[in-house]
Structure 1
């Protein structure tokens, strides 16, 4: 199967799909805000100790490798999942679920920071999640919107309209888009690895008095 831009031959326009996925993301964000209110108060102290111990660890090859691996998982998991779901009819159901899950965990994490540190938690969350979200969310949507269209086309071939529907084609635009997203994610990950610890150090010095 080869991916090709479709309009009259199977896929709907991308704007409705973008709006629907944005609504699923927003639903996950709202759910994360609701459930974050049930987090125990002691979580703030535990979070502060964790961040303090993280910054006081000595550098080294092991820590650098673990940090790079963790950043790669964080940056690539949702965009790569969205791309792969475009090759299966299950993506029709799983892409909205993945989008809502993305919004939920992002919102829940940010709300935990703000609940633990108050207004200073906004700056802390911005240091930890700001660049990551600014890079990964557009990349995710850039892959998820067309992937949802192709997975819907695959589903229509499998359930009832296979004889009349146009074949689902994955062409050059698919791989150019994917390659561009990978390049952006790699660049964002590298910047994050160098910039985020410095920002986190500055903000924790203000909040917790770490020197």
Structure 2
């Protein structure tokens, strides 16, 4: 009995791991694309980029937490995980979830590359101060939600392409909603921590970089 139960669960785990690796490859592709395109930025824009990022990080680091737009931080934290949840209710998520993974990796890589282009190696320190905490939380939450969403998207696509054939219904069980609730709680805690700590961390990084 236990052997049959383990045998029944093993394919599901294998499929989940394969989907995770597949989405991770798209995310890695986005990172590489961001680095390539960042390297093609004309040299003439380097000074302008440096001035812009210097003003940005200075204002970001000097602004008090209560003066920053709280809801903007919420949007930044929740945008990719929320997209992953939403696309899990659509058959088009089969195509769009890998696209979202590419976009996630691209914008993350491109922004870090811009910091390093403007400030050299110490730009990584500034990038970590600005978005390190956010990435540490949003990345695992995104993949935690994207993998089962992609699986349900495949099931919905199979229903829509079944041409009247009998197919098993797509069920969003308790584990699905517990996973979404856990991710939402982690992200909300991250928003509060980011709202309070990021200006302090960036101020410390600025003292080292611009001193």
Alignment TM class, shorter chain as reference:
0.7 to 0.9
In 2, the alpha carbon distance for the partners of 1:60 and 1:127 equals 14
Alpha-carbon distance, 1:29 to partner? 0.2
CA offsets, 1:153-181, max 9 Å, x none? 00011013652421111111111111111
Structure number with the higher helix fraction is 2
The alpha-carbon distance between structure 1 residues 8 and 170, as it changes in their structure 2 partners (threshold 3 A), is farther
Q: Is the 8 A contact 2:97 2:146 kept in 1?
A: yes
Report the counterpart of residue 55 of structure 2 in structure 1. Answer: 49
With the length of structure 1 as denominator, give the TM-score of the two structures: 0.88
Q: Which residue of 2 aligns with 1:138?
A: 140
1:10/1:165 contact within 8 Å kept? no
Note if contact 1:41-1:116 (Cα within 8 Å) is conserved in structure 2: yes
Alpha-carbon distance in 2 for matches of 1:9, 1:33: 36
Q: Residue 87 of structure 1 contacts residue 151 of structure 1 at CA under 8 Å; is this kept in 2?
A: yes
Q: Which residue of 1 aligns with 2:157?
A: 155
Aligned residues: 200
Shift of 1:194: 1.2
Residue number in structure 2 paired with 1:77: 79
Whole-angstrom CA distance in 1 between matches of 2:113 and 2:107: 10
Tell me the residue number matched to 1:194.
Answer: 196
CA distance in 1 between partners of 2:28 and 2:158 (Å): 27
TM-score (norm 2): 0.88
Which deviations, in whole Å up to 9, do the C-alpha atoms of 1:40-79 show, x marking residues without a partner?
A: 212012210222233345x485x24x1x111101100000
Runs of 5+ unmatched residues, structure 1:
1-5
Q: Note if 1:100 corresponds to 2:105.
A: no
8 Å contact from structure 2 (residues 80, 142) kept in 1: yes
Given that residues 62 and 203 in structure 2 are in contact (C-alpha distance below 8 angstroms), is that contact kept between their aligned partners in structure 1? no
Correspondences of 1:166-205 after superposition (within 5 Å):
166-205=168-207
SS state at 2:104 partner: helix
- Go from structure 1 to structure 2 and tell me whether the alpha carbon gap of 1:10 and 1:55 turns closer, same or farther (over 3 Å shift): closer
1:115 counterpart = 2:117: yes
CA distance in 1, matches of 2:182, 2:65: 31
Inter-CA distance 47–60: structure 2 relative to 1 (3 Å threshold): closer
TM-align CA RMSD: 2.2
Decide whether the 8 Å contact of 1:9 with 1:166 is kept in 2: no
Unaligned 5+ runs, structure 2: 1-7
- Give me the whole-angstrom Cα distance separating, in 2, the residues matched to 1:114 and 1:35: 14
Alpha-carbon distance between aligned partners in 1 of 2:11 and 2:30, rounded to the nearest angstrom = 32
